[in-house]
Amino acid sequence: MKCAEAKSMFSPYLDGAVTGNQMHSLGLHLDHCSDCHREYALLRQTQELLASVGRRKAPTDLALRLRLAISRKPPRPSVRPSRDCWFVWIMRCVPSWSQRRLGWLSP
């Protein structure tokens, strides 16, 4: 196994998402390649540190703050055209090259 292939397997290996053969091959590579072994050890330590930090709890008033922020946001203009401006809406939606091809615009 080459170093590039081994390094691409570090994360799946840590997650337990490799086959038995892949696990064995990577283990052999790590036993013989000090550079990959060092890099793998650093990745494993980083994962352990992140796992030990735990998740941060959301503030108790988060839902209220989100509802307030959403209610203060101006409403989006309607995407649906009114009955009076359907032609303008179609002209905006159809690319100009299609309009020329259909004869709606002069070349």
Q: What is the pLDDT of residues 10-61, one digit of tens each?
A: 999 999 999 999 999 999 999 999 999 999 999 999 999 988 887 888 889 9
End-to-end CA distance of the chain, in Å?
61
pTM (2 d.p.): 0.52
Tell me if residue 86 falls in helix, strand or coil: helix
Model pLDDT, residue 97: 56
52 neighbors 45 (Cβ within 8 angstroms) = no
* Average pLDDT in the chain: 83
What does the pLDDT read at residue 76?
72
